[in-house]
Amino acid sequence: MPTSRGLMKGNPPVPEALSRRSCALWLAAAALPGACPARAAVNSAAPATTADTLPLRVVASFSILADLAQVVGGDAVTVSTLVPANADAHVFSPRPAHAQMVAQAQLLVVNGLGFEGWLQRLVQASGYKGPVLELGRSITPRRQGGGPDPHAWQDLEKAQRYVAALLEAFSAARPQQASAMAARAAQYRQQLQALDARIRQRVAALPADRRRVVSPHDAFAYFGAAYGIEFLPVRGRSSSSEASAADVARLIGILRKQRANAVFVENVSDPRLLERIAAEAGVGVGGRLYSDALSAPGTDADTYLKMFTHNANAILGALEAAR
């Protein structure tokens, strides 16, 4: 497991902002990451004005933001992802390759609100001096346990704010493609709103006593608040925090007493604890939720829209079937 020292050691020399821009331009043309010629050679190889027509190099902190960035940016951006599909951003350990990825970015897109605890160290190690777009600043976060709850992407309305913030940043960086990106964002917003309307219709048909769900970590409070469904997390806001014996006993008690609407496992946490709780309470596991990461490319939750659709179908399907 890399330490901060290891990260620093493997880090390339810190370029100053302007030369990095030119250097990166050359890298894009020559496809030779890691090599950077003198600036004069860069300028003769590619005039500075070309820079604004090349795709904006975006590095997103995790897969969900990467997908939103790609949808909005289209061919005006190239998006790389630090924490990949099915991986847990709460316990991510950046390696030197991640520092190199950040060093070559023109825009770093992160959630903020305390979600990427490893980010500051990574940015320092990379020498990145460019802009950091913190999407969490575009919303008013829920407060929980004395801090902001970072999982705002689990609310379709808040995701639309993220989309608007991405559109604004991308349009400023690539004004020539701004109208095309605005059209993409508008179309995407319609898809998010249509999904939201379908979910609300199904929730409205649910009996009031059938809206209680157990999830592995506290990633669904925004979803719960948006749709009036109560999520009982086994762990806290971070998937790395341990569930105490008392927490587990409390949940088993609640599940038994409430006739258990549904229990879910998730893609970024070990499912065994939840499976044990469900078995002890005599409740079936309602399926897998995607909380903080998309599923692998080509599978059923490999975009934000598919992820949200999957989660809503799993949650509502289990609640509708509950007796």
Which residues contact Zn ion (rule: CB under 5 A)?
A: 219, 292
CB nearer to Zn ion: pick between 123 and 219: 219
Least separation in angstroms between residue 266's CB and Zn ion is 9
Least separation in angstroms between residue 261's CB and Zn ion is 21
* Helix, strand, or coil (residue 58): strand
CB nearer to Zn ion: pick between 106 and 291: 291
Q: Is 75 exposed, middle or buried (0-12, 13-18, 19+ CB in 10 A)?
A: exposed
**Could you tell me what percentage of the chain is helix, strand and coil, using 3-state DSSP and rounding each to the nearest 5?**
50, 15, 35
Residue given tokens 């346990």 in the structure block: 145
CB nearer to Zn ion: pick between 155 and 292: 292
CB nearer to Zn ion: pick between 128 and 304: 304
Least separation in angstroms between residue 90's CB and Zn ion is 5
CB nearer to Zn ion: pick between 117 and 228: 117
Query: Which tokens in the block code for residue 15?
Result: 């370029």
Q: How far apart are CA 216 and CA 137, in angstroms?
A: 26
Q: Which of 130, 95, 131, 118 is nearest to 11 (CA)?
A: 95
Given a contact cutoff of 8 angstroms between Cβ atoms, the answer to whether 155 and 226 are in contact is yes
Least separation in angstroms between residue 215's CB and Zn ion is 10
Given a contact cutoff of 8 angstroms between Cβ atoms, the answer to whether 200 and 126 are in contact is no
CB nearer to Zn ion: pick between 27 and 293: 293
Query: Which tokens in the block code for residue 185?
Result: 């964002």
Q: Which of 83, 158, 140 is nearest to 115 (CA)?
A: 83
Least separation in angstroms between residue 24's CB and Zn ion is 32
* Helix, strand, or coil (residue 147): strand
Residue given tokens 């399907």 in the structure block: 317
Given a contact cutoff of 8 angstroms between Cβ atoms, the answer to whether 25 and 255 are in contact is no
State whether the Cα torsion 235-236-237-238 is positive or negative. negative
Q: Which of 122, 125, 115 is nearest to 162 (CA)?
A: 115
CB nearer to Zn ion: pick between 94 and 150: 150
CB nearer to Zn ion: pick between 219 and 273: 219
Least separation in angstroms between residue 219's CB and Zn ion is 4
Least separation in angstroms between residue 97's CB and Zn ion is 24
Q: Which of 141, 113, 140, 83 is nearest to 292 (CA)?
A: 83
Least separation in angstroms between residue 46's CB and Zn ion is 41
CB nearer to Zn ion: pick between 77 and 87: 87
Query: Which tokens in the block code for residue 202?
Result: 């199904």
Helix (H) / strand (E) element for 56: namely strand 56-62
Least separation in angstroms between residue 292's CB and Zn ion is 4
